[in-house]
């Protein structure tokens, strides 16, 4: 066979594997939205079986024989000739993924997936009852399974670094601390100075109709150019986006009767993720150029839309007349600036997803430091609750009164996603860099936001982010787009500029 014929065989094999894996995504989406509560044991069996079948395809002799025609399987050197640079990059990424997958025993993958399905269900019950002790045995098991996973992948490497690499390839604890320590110090100082400000955003309390909030959410997604022929919007207790296929992207939002900011900000946030997934290549589905670069880049899309568009005064001023058509009574005697100031109120609290942009960074840093303490055996899961409370008191000046608003508020650990949280901060950092570059490239970025025609923004992101897939690594992609490596400077400047003006303080 020619090199092109071999490449096409591999491409089709990977497409079929991805199709099978997407079944698990649908099952996970259903579990978080519509699944009957008593179906959890059967759902865990389903997810475990699909995960095992997918992994079997990754470690099969069929794939190994195809790869042998392409690579020296020991060195990874590509033997095929006559391929384009994009096809060569696809093969390089496939080899890296295959090496990692084949290091994991099939039974381990099935067991891990089943444990996650069970753990997420128990976590929801524990959160509802605000009782960490219900969930702790599962947390212990997931930490141990994650240690095993890291050992299978690279026994010589620091466990937490292996876990970080799952979500942000190439990231290490050392690199992360170089970014997070100065950011932590800056954020703590900003909060102290803002606390002294006499300005207090106007607060208002009303009951906001569920159906109207959902209609607003759909309208905003349409303005972002989310394609409802290739996606849908639902509600869940914890907003998320599921990537099934670029033509099937499911996003959820959270709706509160008394705070319509929750639905708007979570919809815009998840919409950013959804646009990324819809913008990925259909032609290369199953291969690296049809996948997101990393979770840091993925999060940069949601943080860009949420913070730099959705929390701007330009957006609230432009969208205010539309909001008044839905909530004329609820927004009586309220101005667009009132809404802008309120949605950007800096008020250190307990809940990550409700946090202002400055406090949010500290919420993530707390989770990172908790994970680091767990995996470095500095604390046990029995000590985790107190450690969490201590960090919240030191960094944000607040202490959880119960487990639901404390250690149980996030689903991530129940999914075994250790090393995931730091990507949220990276997302905010990269989003600030992209925002700076975009405002340079646009003749009038604020005018674009004000027009409520956001197609040019989505087009820019499609060209500069979505279209590349994993062709570049994270830092290389950021350099490709902004001409600078990942750095925290743009985020700090942005935060100081925005909140100095809002609170009339020198940050």
Which are the catalytic amino acids? 270
Both tokens of 86, joined, read: 């994009």
Rounded to an integer, what distance in angstroms lies between the CA atom of residue 352 and that of residue 339? 20
Rounded to an integer, what distance in angstroms lies between the CA atom of residue 108 and that of residue 60? 16
Phi and psi at 56, nearest 5°, equal -60, -35
Dump the DSSP string for 224-286. Answer: TT--TTSEEEEE-SS--EEEEETTEEEEEE---SS-HHHHHHHHHHHHHHHHHHHTS-STTTT
In sequence order, what are the residues at sequence separation of 6 or more whose Cβ sits closer than 8 angstroms to the Cβ of residue 473?
Answer: 169, 170, 293, 294
Dump the DSSP string for 186-214. Answer: HHHHHHHHHHT-------------HHHHH
Both tokens of 270, joined, read: 């998840």
Among residues 337, 325, 316, 302, the alpha carbon closest in space to that of 215 is found at 325
In sequence order, what are the residues at sequence separation of 6 or more whose Cβ sits closer than 8 angstroms to the Cβ of residue 201?
Answer: 338, 341, 342, 344, 345
Q: How far does CA 30 lie from the centroid of its chain?
A: 19
78 bridge partner residues: 71
Phi and psi at 374, nearest 5°, equal -65, -50
In sequence order, what are the residues at sequence separation of 6 or more whose Cβ sits closer than 8 angstroms to the Cβ of residue 25?
Answer: 242, 243, 244
Rounded to an integer, what distance in angstroms lies between the CA atom of residue 424 and that of residue 416? 16
First to last CA, the chain: 65
Q: How far does CA 108 lie from the centroid of its chain?
A: 25
In sequence order, what are the residues at sequence separation of 6 or more whose Cβ sits closer than 8 angstroms to the Cβ of residue 500?
Answer: 506, 507
Rounded to an integer, what distance in angstroms lies between the CA atom of residue 452 and that of residue 69? 52
Rounded to an integer, what distance in angstroms lies between the CA atom of residue 366 and that of residue 372? 10
> From residue 400, how far is each of 108, 207, 350, 386, 409 by CA, in Å?
36, 26, 6, 10, 11
């Amino acid at each position: 066979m020619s090199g092109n014929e071999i490449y096409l065989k591999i491409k089709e094999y990977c497409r079929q594997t991805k199709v099978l894996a997407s079944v698990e995504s649908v099952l996970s989406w259903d579990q978080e939205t519509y699944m009957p509560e008593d179906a959890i044991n059967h759902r865990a069996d389903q997810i475990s079986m699909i995960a095992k079948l997918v992994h079997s395809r990754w470690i099969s002799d069929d794939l190994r024989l195809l790869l042998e025609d392409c690579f020296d399987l020991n060195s990874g050197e590509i033997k095929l000739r006559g391929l384009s640079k994009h096809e060569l990059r696809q093969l390089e990424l496939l080899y890296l993924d295959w090496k990692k997958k084949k290091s994991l025993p099939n039974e381990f993958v099935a067991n891990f997936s089943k444990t996650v399905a069970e753990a997420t269900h128990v976590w929801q019950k524990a959160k509802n009852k605000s009782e960490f002790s219900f969930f702790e045995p599962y947390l212990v098991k997931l930490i141990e399974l994650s240690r095993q996973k890291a050992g299978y992948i690279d026994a010589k490497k620091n466990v937490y670094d292996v876990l970080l690499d799952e979500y942000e390839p190439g990231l290490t604890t050392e690199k992360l601390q170089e970014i997070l320590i100065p950011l932590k110090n800056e954020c703590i100082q900003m909060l102290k100075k803002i606390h002294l400000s006499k300005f207090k955003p106007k607060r208002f309390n009303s009951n906001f109709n569920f159906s109207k909030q959902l209609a607003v959410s759909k309208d905003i997604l349409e303005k972002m150019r989310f394609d409802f022929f290739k996606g849908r919007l639902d509600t869940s207790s914890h907003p998320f986006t599921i990537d099934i296929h670029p033509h099937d992207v499911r996003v959820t939002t959270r709706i509160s009767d008394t705070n319509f900011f929750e639905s708007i900000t979570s919809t815009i946030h998840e919409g950013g993720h959804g646009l990324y997934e819809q913008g990925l290549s259909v032609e290369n589905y199953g291969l690296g150029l049809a996948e997101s670069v990393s979770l840091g880049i993925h999060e940069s899309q949601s943080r860009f839309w949420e913070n730099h568009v959705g929390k701007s005064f330009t957006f609230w001023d432009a969208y205010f007349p539309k909001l008044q058509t839905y909530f004329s009574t609820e927004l009586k005697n309220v101005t667009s600036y009132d809404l802008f100031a309120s949605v950007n109120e800096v008020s250190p609290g307990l809940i990550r997803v409700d946090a202002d942009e400055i406090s949010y960074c500290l919420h993530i840093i707390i989770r990172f430091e908790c994970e680091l303490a767990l995996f470095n055996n500095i604390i046990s899961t029995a000590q985790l609750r107190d450690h969490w409370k201590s960090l919240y008191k030191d960094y944000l000046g607040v202490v959880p009164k119960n487990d639901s608003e404390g250690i149980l508020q996030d689903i991530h650990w129940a999914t075994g996603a250790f090393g995931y949280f730091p990507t949220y901060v990276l997302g905010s950092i990269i989003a600030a860099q992209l925002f700076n570059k975009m405002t340079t490239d646009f003749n009038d970025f604020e005018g674009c936001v004000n027009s409520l025609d956001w197609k040019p923004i989505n087009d820019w992101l499609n060209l500069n982010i979505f279209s590349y897939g994993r062709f570049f690594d994270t830092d290389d992609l950021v350099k490709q787009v902004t001409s600078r490596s990942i750095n925290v400077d743009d985020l700090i400047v942005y935060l100081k500029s925005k909140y100095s003006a809002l609170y009339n303080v020198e940050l």
